[in-house]
A and B are shown apart, each in its own frame.
Chain A
Amino acid sequence: MAKKNRNVGVIGIGQTEYSSHKEHQNQAEMVNEAVRYALEDANITLDDIDCVVHGNMELFEMVHQPDMWHALGSGAYGKDQLRITTGGTTGASLVCAADNLVASGMYDVVMAIGLEKLQEGHTTGGITNMADPLWFRHLQTGALTATTATMMMEEFGEDRAKRAAMKYRILMDKHACLNPRAHRRFGLEYDQLEDLMNTSPKLVGELRLIHMCSQSDGACVMIFASEEKAKAMCKNPVWIRDHITVHREETFNNFGLEMPEMTHHYAGRKLFERNGITDPVEYFDVFEMYDPSAWWGLDWLREFLQLKDDEHLKLLEDGEFDLDGKLPVNPSGGVTASNPIGATAMLRPAEAAMQIRGDAGPQQIKKEVKHALASGFGGTLWSVLIMLEKDLDWQEV
């Protein structure tokens, strides 16, 4: 595995509820709400925090230097602070950065803050500017694409692929309905599957409105501490075992001749290899995955988990990604339910850590969760994969 100077534990987690709008509070106040929950959860005060890492999407609220604005609520006043904005992966990058800052020995206790108030800005206006002005800016469809749907229908047949994507979507909604903080909780049932397949409005190709993630407001805060401090301050720290970040340039493979290894597949392959994990479905007890749409979520399970052919469809069809299945996926309801973008990729390791602690709430997995996997995703197929552990007992490879 990647050489770590010292172990790092998650000692506090705080989240707001997620919703389409929050008129009652401004950005700093929303940040403050999650900060207070996290400090309460860790049973510490601001005095214990050495450094704050802050992140949201560039320009989504049309605010320059939001980390400075939010000092009114973030607790960063007089402390070291840095801002990280890596698009959709921001929340996961915050976790990786906080882990690195503590592991390196620079700080003992780091608080990471991810947030978004999507209703205050114009998401697509911001996102479309990532594309090259000469080749793609005037052709691309922002975050809405149907490439994966098309490829899955070609590979597995139209009917099976469409059914699987909608089953995945309904499963996510069932999980979201358990999560009191989730934004969209529709109460979908499996007997609506065919109806939804045919009547949900089409966005691009076979990507339909019901498949797509929400636009949410909300904030998530996680507090990280060195092994020594974590053990002294917290009775059940969750350990960050390892993480990997994989990037790809923005033009995908449009000029290439061969399909390259997908970033998610590469991330999983490398991470599992260096940690000696040969069967991730067997090893992990939960996977909180950044799934921007039902099509992507389903397809990416194959990539991350190093599955072959239709293994991921079979696992889904057999109920193995359910809360009581072999590898529960997104007990929180995932990104199709709640998507406050700068916080979204932090919600994945945060929810995974809560599953390990056993206090995730109504969406808690019934059997013991010892090993958790969490992913972050961002524009042009950036991928972050994080491993969390209940015990400090893993073997160095």
Chain B
Amino acid sequence: MEISYENTKDCKVMTGKMALPNQYFAGRVGSKFIIALRDEHKILGVRCEKCNKVFVPPREYCEKCLSKLDESWVELSNEGVITNYTVVNYNDKHLPRRAPYILALVKVDGADTPFPHIVEGIDVEDVKVGMKVKAVFAEETTNTIRDLDHFEPL
């Protein structure tokens, strides 16, 4: 039997669009982090005494030992170090910046875990692991992690 791939006359294509509206409940711990970021320009973490680790973003329970952490808040520095990075080189509607821009992992002083954020104020060619950076806060709140607008070199 011969199968023809060329002739697609009268072959229907059904076009669809999945609409999946959703919301996300941040919980008490996540909410407290965003509120401190928004109202006080402070980055908060939680410490697990048992594992001797400070987690940012904070979480209610240590994922390693299940210790309860929501009472062990630590106020961290607004300065930190780039532990890794990449350069985003394409444009799309969901992206927060026009390409090219730097997306880095930043470990703020006092934390044991880095978190991802945008780095600006430096040419994409010049970013390096180990570079010291400081937080720049957004002028208008969005009640999200983007209340911290970006990091820039010290």
A25-B25, A26-B30, A134-B12 given as contacts; is B66 within 8 A of A126 (CB)? no
Contact of B23 among A73, A119, A129, A133 (CB under 8 A): A119
Please, how many angstroms separate the alpha-carbon atoms of A59 and B18 in the complex? Answer: 11
Q: Is the CB of A125 within 8 A of B21?
A: yes
B27 nearest CB neighbor, chain A only: A26
Does A29 make an interface contact (CB < 8 A)? yes
Beta-carbon contact of B59 and A77 below 8 Å = no
A121 to B23 alpha-carbon distance, docked (Å) = 6
Query: Is B60's CB within 8 Å of the partner chain A?
Result: yes
In the assembled complex, the CB of B4 is this many whole angstroms from the nearest CB of chain A, namely 22
**A17 is an interface residue with CB less than 8 A from chain B:** no
The reply to whether A22 and B25 contact each other, CB–CB distance below 8 Å, is yes
Find out whether the CB atom of A133 lies under 8 angstroms from the CB atom of B14: yes
Q: How far is the CA of A137 from the CA of B16 in the complex (A)?
A: 10
Q: Which of A313-333 contact B (CB under 8 A)?
A: none
Distance in angstroms between the alpha carbons of A121 and B20 in the assembled complex: 7
Residues of B contacting A45 in the complex (Cβ-Cβ under 8 angstroms)? 66
Interface residue B9 (Cβ < 8 Å from any Cβ of A)? no
Contact with A along B38-62 (1 / 0, CB 8 A): 0000000000000000000001110
Contact B63 A73 (CB under 8 A): yes
The interface residues of chain A lying within 8 Å CB-to-CB of B93 are none
Cβ of B16 and Cβ of A120 under 8 Å apart?
no
Task: Say if the beta carbon of A62 comes within 8 Å of chain B.
Answer: yes
Interface size class of A (residues with CB under 8 A): 20 to 34
B1 interface residue per 8 A CB criterion: no
Choose among B19, B26, B63 the residue that contacts A71 (Cβ–Cβ < 8 A).
B63
Residue of B nearest to A59 (CB): B20
Question: Contacts of A46 on B, CB cut-off 8 Å?
Answer: 65-66
- Can you name the residue of chain B whose Cβ is closest to the Cβ of A133? B14
Q: Which residues of B contact A36 (CB under 8 A)?
A: 61, 66
Complex contacts, B18 vs chain A, CB 8 Å: 125, 129
- Docked-complex contact B23 and A120, CB < 8 angstroms: yes
A21-34 interface bits toward B, Cβ cutoff 8 Å, 1 = contact, 0 = none: 11111101100100
Which of A21, A29, A117 is packed against the most chain B CB atoms within 10 Å? Answer: A29
Q: What chain A residues lie within 8 Å of B64 (beta carbons)?
A: 77-78
> In whole angstroms, how far apart are the Cα atoms of A137 and B24 in the complex?
28
Check B22 for interface membership: any CB of A closer than 8 A.
yes
Which residues does chain B contribute within 8 Å of A78, judged by CB atoms?
Answer: 64
A62 to B97 alpha-carbon distance, docked (Å): 24
On whether A122 and B14 interact (CB within 8 A), knowing A25-B60, A29-B60, A75-B63, the answer reads no
Count chain B residues whose beta carbon lies closer than 8 angstroms to a beta carbon of A: 23
Interface centre among A28, A39, A45, A129, by most chain B C-beta atoms within 10 angstroms, is A28
Q: Known contacts A28-B59, A72-B59, A77-B64: does B26 contact A133 (CB below 8 Å)? A: no
State whether the Cβ of A50 lies closer than 8 Å to any Cβ in chain B: no
**Does A41 touch B at the CB level, under 8 Å?**
no
A225 to chain B, nearest CB (A): 19
**A75, B28: Cβ atoms under 8 Å?**
no
Q: Are A73 and B14 in contact (CB under 8 A)?
A: no
| A137, B14: Cα distance in complex, Å | 11
B35 on the A face (CB < 8 A):
no
Q: Which residues of B contact A59 (CB under 8 A)?
A: 20
Contact A23 B25 (CB under 8 A): yes
**Interchain CA distance A133-B21 in the complex, whole Å:** 20
Q: Which residues of A contact B16 (CB under 8 A)?
A: 129, 133, 137
Q: Which residues of B contact A126 (CB under 8 A)?
A: 20
Contact B22 A121 (CB under 8 A): yes
* Contact residues in A for B27 (Cβ distance below 8 Å): 24-26, 29
Check if B25 sits within 8 Å of A117, measured CB to CB: yes
Q: How far is the CA of A210 from the CA of B50 in the complex (A)?
A: 50
Residues of B within 8 A of A26 (CB): 24-27, 29-30
A128: nearest chain-B partner, CB-CB: B18
Q: A114-152: which have CB < 8 Å to B?
A: 117, 119-122, 125-126, 129, 133-134, 137
Check if B28 sits within 8 Å of A24, measured CB to CB: yes
In the bound complex, residues from chain B placing their C-beta under 8 Å from that of A29 are: 27, 29, 59-61
- In the complex, residue of chain A having the shortest beta-carbon distance to the beta carbon of B23: A120
Asked if residues A125 and B63 are in contact (CB atoms below 8 Å), the reply is no
Beta-carbon nearest neighbor of B60 in chain A? A29
From residue B24, how far is it (CB to closest CB) to chain A in Å? 6
CA distance A117 to B23 in the complex (A): 10
Minimum distance in angstroms from A157 CB to a CB of chain B: 42
Given contacts A26-B25, A120-B24, A121-B20, 5 further A-B contacts (CB under 8 A): A22-B25, A24-B27, A46-B65, A119-B23, A120-B25
A–B pairs, 5, beta carbons within 8 Å: A36-B66, A73-B63, A75-B63, A119-B23, A120-B25
Q: Which residues of B contact A (CB under 8 A)?
A: 12, 14, 16, 18-30, 59-61, 63-66
Top 6 nearest A-B pairs (CB, nearest first) are A62-B22, A26-B27, A133-B14, A25-B27, A77-B63, A121-B22
Query: Which residues of A are at the interface with B, using a C-beta cutoff of 8 A?
Result: 21-26, 28-29, 32, 35-36, 39, 45-46, 59, 61-62, 71-73, 75, 77-78, 117, 119-122, 125-126, 129, 133-134, 137
